[in-house]
């Protein structure tokens, strides 16, 4: 009898531990913005002439089989987003209001290929001064300019310019640790070097960008999901950098490798 009870207790313990270890899988894809964007950073890219390359990437990422897709548009447009997505799934030749950016070109198409039923808007807007070069010069903040220089060097070395490298190569490079480090330094942390003796002008601006990304991550967390779901997040690379850190240390989510899914012969 004691042995039977011990076996049951052991089974319950193993089952509970397994349940606690099970997390929601996430593929967090950072990229440049296609077409029109209100973001400060815009990359020149001719989507029309590169559709074959884009479709190849879409088919590779669709192997993740997302049950939920999240994109960088405001939650107040959620119903419009769902309507546009359903229209696209029914007829992928139509042009929705998202036809000229990555939401239709990539997110909608990946969702169609993977038969994804749910799509959500997760953006949150907050204005911040991302360029403090004038103030940096005034304060003699040399580390601000050194950080910006290092960021540009990393971007150049990683071949993140779409007109000079294949779309797949650019996307893969924008999702490396080296790129993410340069991105967070170049978009936020460099501002912390620009402060007067009695104030924190740069640090306060960086804090706004951190807050924006925390609120976007909160929007991700507002979406009902469980361990059976697989979440694909497509956003600007700077946002994806923050998300990467949030997801990586989370007890709830488990990050999947973007590189793995962009490798055609990888075992999934």
Ordered by start, the domain boundaries in the chain are: 25-262
What pLDDT, on a 0 to 100 scale, did the predictor assign at position 9? 46
pLDDT tens readout for residues 101-144: 999 999 999 999 999 999 999 999 999 999 999 999 999 999 99
What pLDDT, on a 0 to 100 scale, did the predictor assign at position 39? 55
Asked if residue 89 lies in contact with residue 112, where contact means CB atoms within 8 angstroms, the answer is: yes
Question: Residue 124: CB partners within 8 Å, gap ≥ 6?
Answer: 74, 75, 212, 215, 216, 219
Summary mean pLDDT of the chain: 90
* Percentage of the chain modeled with pLDDT above 70: 85
What pLDDT, on a 0 to 100 scale, did the predictor assign at position 49? 72
Q: Under DSSP, is residue 254 helix (H, G, I), strand (E, B) or coil?
A: strand
Asked if residue 202 lies in contact with residue 195, where contact means CB atoms within 8 angstroms, the answer is: yes
Q: What angle do CA 244, 168, 265 make, to 5 degrees?
A: 90
Asked if residue 61 lies in contact with residue 110, where contact means CB atoms within 8 angstroms, the answer is: yes
pLDDT exceeds 50 at position 15:
no
The 118-121 sheet, strands edge to edge? 118-121, 68-71, 230-236, 24-31, 253-255
For the whole model, what pTM was predicted?
0.88
């Amino acid at each position: 009898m004691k042995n039977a009870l011990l076996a049951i207790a052991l089974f319950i313990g193993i089952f509970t531990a397994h349940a606690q270890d099970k997390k929601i899988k996430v593929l967090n894809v950072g990229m440049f913005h296609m077409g029109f964007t209100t973001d400060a950073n815009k990359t020149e890219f001719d989507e029309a002439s590169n559709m074959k390359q884009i479709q190849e990437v879409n088919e590779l990422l669709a192997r993740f089989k997302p049950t939920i897709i999240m994109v960088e548009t405001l939650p107040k447009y959620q119903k419009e987003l769902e309507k546009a997505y359903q229209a696209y799934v029914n007829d992928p030749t139509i042009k929705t209001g998202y036809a000229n950016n990555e939401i239709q070109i990539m997110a909608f198409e990946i969702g169609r290929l993977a038969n994804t039923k749910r799509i959500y808007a997760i953006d949150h807007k907050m204005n911040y001064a991302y360029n403090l070069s004038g103030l940096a010069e005034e304060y003699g903040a040399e580390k601000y300019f050194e950080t910006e220089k290092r960021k540009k060097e990393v971007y150049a070395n990683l071949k993140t310019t779409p007109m000079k490298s294949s779309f797949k190569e650019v996307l893969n490079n924008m999702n490396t640790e080296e790129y993410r480090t340069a991105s967070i330094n170049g978009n936020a942390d460099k501002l912390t070097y620009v402060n007067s003796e009695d104030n924190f002008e740069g640090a306060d601006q960086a804090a706004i960008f951190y807050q924006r990304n925390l609120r976007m991550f909160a929007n991700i967390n507002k979406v009902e999901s469980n361990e059976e779901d697989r979440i694909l997040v497509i956003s600007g690379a700077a946002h994806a950098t923050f998300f990467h850190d949030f997801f990586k240390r989370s007890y709830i989510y488990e990050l999947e490798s973007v590189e793995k899914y962009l490798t055609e012969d990888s075992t999934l």
